[in-house]
Amino acid sequence: MIERWALVSGLKGDLDTYELIQKDLKKTPGNITLFVLGDMIGPEKNCNRLLHRLINPKSNDLQPWCIYGWWEEQILLESGYRGDQRAEALRINKGEEVVKSLTNAVDKSFLDWIAALQFGFVELDCGLIHGSSKDVGENLTLDTPPLTLLDRLTRLQVNRLFTARSKQQFHLELTEGIVNSEVEDLNGNRKKEQKVPQKAVIGIGSGKNYTLYDVGTDNTQFLQAGYKSEKRIMGFGGL
Amino acid sequence: MNQAVISCLHANLPAVEAVLKDIELQGITNITCLGDLVGYGPQPNEVIELIRDKKIPTCQGCWDEDVVDGLDACDCSYPSQLAEKRGHFAHQWTTDKLTKENKDYLANLPYSIRKDKCLFVHGSPNSQHEYLLPDMDAFAALERVENARAEILFCGHTHQPYIRELADGSIAVKIKNAASKDIQEKEIQLPMRRIVNAGSVGEPRHGGTKATYVVHNEVTNEVKIREVEYDLELTCKAIIDAGLPPIFAWRLKNGFEFAEQAEDASHVCER
């Protein structure tokens, strides 16, 4: 049986999109595991129905495995789940109205569930996170320096890092590289050549744009809920 | 022009005096200190006052921060529970001894100091508690310097002096994105960068008993590690007289490595 991961993020309370994705996945062959990499909530719409569905899946739903994202971090900050800190970055960048909209969009009864979510999952040799291994709010994009990407992979000690924060869909593979290191200390000098291990960072998209990852072949497919077949014809197979 | 970089003084006054004397004998007036003025040693106020008197630019070390803010590093800093207990005892002893004025001084030290292409930090640009060990992953080491926008990163914290040059680097990538069917390939050249660890003045962990620091020539970029002998017996006696754990004196006297450090260089303390 083909083992596939469906990687979703940025639903921001959009139950319709979640249902579309569930519908797509039911038609997808193979054994599918659904990961929701944060930003289930947002300030734009009431998130309670989606949160209720994630916590209480319908009998024919794929069970979602959720982690927290940047918006969850903001509501936890604002609700006092992170000590004395509040969502100041959100307040400064988006204003008090957005902070209010966010707290109004999520019923307080869901906060304990959100607070219990993990920062990320490590499955096989893959890290599944919202932002980066450094920070939930860090954007990893195609333009992020490869040295930074390699560091974020190294921190989690994984070969594949799935990230959602940038909203972009991409597969960036570090194929080769080298750096020469020379250390001088009280014992003398030593030189070492270190090669880049083959690793990849995958941007999974946001909202209707999600990613299907074939665990056995390392192939990624960038999909859009409701338009899966067309996207597949475009052929975003593995590198 | 030469500059001297000192680190991890750890309230060891005879060692600090000997190193400052050695720097003076070389005619160097430009000195930067990478923190950890206190902790383990018996003369925290005296060491702080000496550094203050000489107006030596100093960044805040992990001990300086913890004494002010309370212990907030996770127990990764210690190799054993016994070591952790000793560390906590020394922390409390130091907190009790420090004057308010000296605590305020430690509280107001900057996290880093930048001078042109040089960045000075205690642990790493990420954290005062992160160890940049001499043989850590070369790409991760290079990332620390590059993302801090420095050419030379001066650090301490490990108590092991070293100079590390990272050169001739490159990374090749293949990129595929949802907006295009094409696979793009490119190769990025990495800049040459250096990490210089000043070792420790007050609590060396290099297998010997001598205090260490580094001298950097800003014109030639040459860096030299200097070892300085100091009156070890005086410090050891002061440790015992102060009621600090005798093992602190024993390890200084024998130059043994039984000090507290994390083994995982990539680990950053969770707070």
The answer to whether A173 contacts B173, with C-beta atoms less than 8 Å apart, is yes
Q: What CATH number is attached to the domain comprising A28?
A: 3.60.21.10
Residue A72 lies in a domain: yes
Whether the pLDDT of residue B261 is over 80: the answer is no
Instruction: Report pTM.
Output: 0.85
Q: Which of residues 151-210 of B touch A (CB under 8 A)?
A: 160-178, 181, 183, 185, 187-188, 190, 206-208
Tell me whether A196 touches chain B (CB under 8 Å).
yes
Residue A239 lies in a domain: no
Residue A34 lies in a domain: yes
Alpha carbons within 13 A on the beta-carbon side of B128:
23
Residue A186 lies in a domain: yes
Q: Would you list the DSSP string of B97-117?
A: HS-HHHHHHHHT--SEEEETT
In this prediction the ipTM stands at: 0.89
Tell me the pLDDT tens digit for each residue of A47-86.
999 999 999 999 999 999 999 999 999 999 999 998 888 9
- What is the predicted pLDDT for the residue at B77? 58
Whether the pLDDT of residue B148 is over 70: the answer is yes
- What is the predicted pLDDT for the residue at B179? 73
- What is the predicted pLDDT for the residue at B79? 63
As a whole-number percent, the residues of chain B with pLDDT over 90 amount to 70
Tell me the pLDDT tens digit for each residue of B13-60.
999 999 999 999 999 999 999 999 999 999 999 999 999 999 999 999
Instruction: Give me the domains of chain B, ranges plus CATH numbers.
Output: 2-254 (3.60.21.10)
Partner-chain residue, chosen from A148, A177, A183, that has the shortest CB–CB distance to B143: A148
Q: Which parts of chain A are beta strand (E)? A: 3-8, 31-37, 64-67, 120-123, 126-129, 160-163, 169-185, 188-195, 199-204, 209-214, 219-224
8 Å CB contact between A157 and B264: no
Q: List the structure tokens of B184.
A: 């793009």
Confidence of residue A239 (pLDDT cuts 50, 70, 90): very low
Q: Which residues of A197-224 are buried (b: 16+ CB within 10 A; e: fewer)?
A: eebbbbbbbbbbbbbbbbbeebebbbbb
Helix H segments across chain B? 13-25, 44-53, 62-69, 81-97, 100-107, 138-147, 232-242, 246-254
Whether the pLDDT of residue B10 is over 60: the answer is yes
Name the minimum distance, in Å, from the CA of A61 to any CA of chain B: 27
CA distances from A169 to A134, A139, A224, B68, B178 (A): 20, 12, 11, 45, 6
Number of compact structural domains in chain A: 1
Structural domain including A201 reads 3-234
- What is the predicted pLDDT for the residue at A229? 47
Tell me the pLDDT tens digit for each residue of A119-163.
999 999 999 999 999 999 999 999 999 999 999 999 899 999 999
Nearest CA in chain A to B212: A186
Which of A154, A184, A221 to mutate against chain B (most B CBs within 10 Å)? A184
The label of the residue with tokens 């992170």 reads A82
Contact list in A for residue B170 (CB cut-off 8 A) is 177-179
Whether the pLDDT of residue B8 is over 90: the answer is yes
Nearest CA in chain B to A83: B271
Centroid of chain to Cα B112: 12
